[in-house]
Amino acid sequence: MAIVALPPDAELGESFRIFFFHLPAAILAFFSFTVTAVAGIMYLRTNEIRWDMISAGAVRLGFIFGGLALATGWAFSYLAWGTKWSWDPKVVATLVMWFVYSGYLMLRSGIDEESRKAKLCAVYGIVGYVSVPLSYLSSRLVYSLHPEGIGLTPVMKTTAAVMTIGFFLLYFYLLWFNMKLGMMGVES
């Protein structure tokens, strides 16, 4: 739908289509890191390794979708505003969030003992979650170029919803697949 069904935008031409990949990627990054924190809390409460596997899978996916959100946001802003890097609070806060969770991945790969790794990563995922609402709310707290609403037409709203649902289906499949790999003992 984003590529075929919508006509080019009057101002941005074909480049506006990037938005329909950027929005679901950003939503899934925030969602993934929320799953990471919730699974971390559940691991600390129950000591069940499946919560650690969910947390690990979610943070990997969040890192990927966060990187996609940053890349597509950069591409869109470059095409729309002609700037390569804007130091916009939303962009900087999202980049900080992305680096926080890259720290989680480094911590995870640096510890061999499973129970210690799970416990430390659960705590890190919970504490690191502070970066998620900070990133989400940054454009509301201070002036930002990042638009809060861009006036989508009904067909654009439908396209955004379909793309987001598709991304969520992909996300849940990948999280399930990661759990299967974890149960087989194949952890990266």
Between CA 65 and CA 27 the distance in angstroms is: 9
Which of these ranges, 6-10, 134-138, 153-157, has the smallest mean pLDDT? 6-10
Between CA 68 and CA 130 the distance in angstroms is: 21
Mean pLDDT of 119-136: 94
* Cα separations in angstroms, 188 against 13, 59, 76, 149, 184: 41, 13, 32, 39, 12
- The rounded mean pLDDT for the chain is 87
Mean pLDDT of 127-153: 75
3-state secondary structure of 152: coil
134: which DSSP letter? H
User: In the block, which residue shows the tokens 């759990």?
Assistant: 179
The answer, yes or no, to whether residue 188 has pLDDT greater than 60, is no
Q: Rounded to two decimals, what is the model's pTM?
A: 0.87
Check residue 147 and give its pLDDT: 59
CA atoms within 13 A on the CB side of 92: 10
φ/ψ of residue 9, rounded to 5:
-75, 145
Tokens of 160: 């955004």
Total length of the chain: 188
Mean pLDDT of 72-88: 80
- Residue 13, C-beta contacts closer than 8 angstroms, at least 6 positions apart: none
pLDDT digits (tens, 9 = 90+) for 3-40: 777 777 767 777 778 888 999 999 999 999 999 999 99
Mean pLDDT of 90-105: 93
